[in-house]
Amino acid sequence: MSDEASKKKKKEKGVYTYYKVTEEGLVRTRIFCERCGPGYFMADHGDRYTCGHCGFTRYKPAGAEGKTMEE
């Protein structure tokens, strides 16, 4: 069996992973892009957040890795 056939295929995450349902209502787990506005989530790259639509990048403060950014 070749290496390509034995590798597991990554499962694509759906939009449902960006929201959490609580008793109070919907909670967004990621931040929105400042340039694009609501509806465009920013990707979390460990030390920074990046918008896939416009390319805007916001760096996290030093020592805040692994923590989520609060709006």
Alpha helices (runs of H) in 1-71, residue ranges in sequence order: 3-6
Judge whether 52 lies within some domain: yes
The model's pTM is 0.61
Judge whether 51 lies within some domain: yes
pLDDT in single tens digits along all 71 residues of the chain: 556 667 788 777 787 888 899 999 999 988 999 999 998 999 999 899 999 999 999 999 887 655 555 54
pLDDT digits (tens, 9 = 90+) for 35-46: 999 989 999 998
Task: Determine the structural domain holding residue 45 and report its residue range.
Answer: 31-71
Question: How far, CA to CA in Å, does 23 sit from each of 27, 30, 62?
Answer: 10, 19, 33
Tokens of 58: 């916001």
Judge whether 40 lies within some domain: yes
Judge whether 22 lies within some domain: no
What is the tally of structural domains in the chain? Answer: 1
Tokens of 20: 């959490």
